[in-house]
Structure 1
Amino acid sequence: MKKSVLFIAVMLFGTTFMAAQEFVYFGAKGGVNFSTFSGDGFSDFNDESARTGYHLGLLAEIPVTDRFSIQPEVLYSAQGFDLVRREDNNDVEHQLDYITVPVMAKLYVLGGLALEAGPQVGFVVEEAIDFGSTERELYNDNRNDIDLSLGLGASYKFNKFFLYGRYNAGLTDIYDVEGVDAKNSVVQAGVGFLF
């Protein structure tokens, strides 16, 4: 399953660039995630603090005009949420790691400052419960393998480097369980480099 998801992501990423290779800027990016969920249904278990994770991957920026670009990406994104904070201050985390494929529209508003918005599809590649000192892998039949979300953010490019911040709001439920409305909610920040 993991290999087929990765293959699909690479094919989507590669096909996007075939038509405009000479105008494409390739790059890499990485940073921190602060993830939790929005909705309800886990009120007895949810800790208000977010899971701190990371994201890392590749991107391409395809200029359409001087001020407008399309930026597809393929990222490994460590997401999830804290279930509960115990008395010994060890969090119990539900870890959901995804391969995500955002496609962002970028509008440069002032110099290197750009506003970004676009859809993202995510494929679950790993799921675990972390009890602090131990971690248990699991597979949940009620968890959806595909996640759709909308990303909104901003970036600032200087020379070949750029800084960015983004909020990904989940559009689909994490779980297919009646009475549970839980969608991914992820804040990302990081740095990137264009080749």
Structure 2
Amino acid sequence: MKKILLSAVFLFSALSYAQDVKFGAKVGLNISNLSGDVEDTKSLIGAHLGGFAEISISEKFAIQPELLFSMQGAKSEYSESDVDYSYSEESKTKLNYLNVPILAKYYVAEKFALLAGPQFGILMSAKEDFEFSENDNGITDSGSESIDAKEFYKSLALSFNLGASYSITENFFIDARYNLGLSSIAKDYTDEFGNSTSLKINNNVFQFSVGYKF
């Protein structure tokens, strides 16, 4: 919470020095994964959309706060087989966040800018989806299940963004960035015997966006 308040103070300070403020909207692709105390995870494809403000401090420097709905997570696959038996399973961790990046934007050239800054994420929902298929001596069984997993994840996530933006026209632009998770998103777990387990799991997301400045 202290970090959020400090960022808000920084943002309001930037507004007081603003020479120009532009607003816009953006939408794009997420390629997300989880790192830390997880094994054999693969990237999950998602999307993000939202709005932003570009607060110009000087000709080359601006502050860009954003508000984005972002679909993140990871997937994993497992399979085994024998002479008369085979089993395969795919699981997907689907985490939906309301993200608030606060980015410093530096124009290296007229149309090309570099971006960097912290991001605060509020977890909106979390689900674990499972699909399996089993074949035992010619008898096939398959199924799927979706579990609400929000209780296993922290409500706030801290990340850091690094990226770049290119203006195609005065209004249209594209950008790409990498979102590195700084804080663990997993809650501590206590089993029925009172044993506590602390896991470190971090979000990692590549984002590719198209946007429009009004």
User: TM-score normalised by the shorter chain: which range applies?
Assistant: 0.7 to 0.9
1:147 pairs, out of 157, 174, 180, with 157
Structure whose residues are more often strand by fraction: 2
1:35 pairs, out of 27, 32, 37, with 32
Match of 2:76 in 1: 83
- TM-score, normalised to structure 1, is 0.81
Does the alignment pair 1:58 with 2:51? yes
Q: 1:20 to 1:153 in 2, by over 3 A?
A: same
Between the aligned partners of 1:166 and 1:26, the Cα distance in structure 2 is 19
The offset of 1:136, in angstroms, is: 2.1
Alignment of 1:113-124 (within 5 A): 113-124=112-123
Q: Which one is further off, 78-87 or 122-131?
A: 78-87
Task: Decide whether the 8 Å contact of 2:76 with 2:90 is kept in 1.
Answer: yes
Q: 1:85 to 1:156 in 2, by over 3 A?
A: farther
Does the alignment pair 1:183 with 2:199? no
Between the aligned partners of 1:54 and 1:85, the Cα distance in structure 2 is 25
Aligned-residue CA RMSD in angstroms? Answer: 2.6
Q: Secondary structure at the match of 2:151?
A: coil
1:73-99 Cα offsets, whole Å, 9 max, x none, are 000000011133557887421001000
Q: Which one is further off, 135-144 or 148-157?
A: 135-144
Task: Decide whether the 8 Å contact of 1:128 with 1:135 is kept in 2.
Answer: no
1:7-60 Cα offsets, whole Å, 9 max, x none, are xxxxx7xx9597578821000001000000122x222xx33x200000000001
Q: 1:90 to 1:188 in 2, by over 3 A?
A: farther
Match of 2:167 in 1: 157
Equivalent position amino acid for 1:97 in 2: N
Match of 2:136 in 1: none
Q: Which one is further off, 18-27 or 180-189?
A: 18-27
Structure 2: runs of 5 or more not aligned: 1-7, 81-86, 132-142, 189-196
Equivalent position amino acid for 1:184 in 2: N
Q: Which one is further off, 54-63 or 132-141?
A: 132-141
The offset of 1:143, in angstroms, is: 1.4
- TM-score, normalised to structure 2, is 0.75
Equivalent position amino acid for 1:42 in 2: V
Question: Highest Rg: 1 or 2?
Answer: 2
1:122-156 Cα offsets, whole Å, 9 max, x none, are 00001111235756241443411100000000000
Between the aligned partners of 2:18 and 2:105, the Cα distance in structure 1 is 18
Between the aligned partners of 2:145 and 2:106, the Cα distance in structure 1 is 42
User: What is the aligned-residue identity percentage?
Assistant: 37
Between the aligned partners of 1:78 and 1:148, the Cα distance in structure 2 is 16
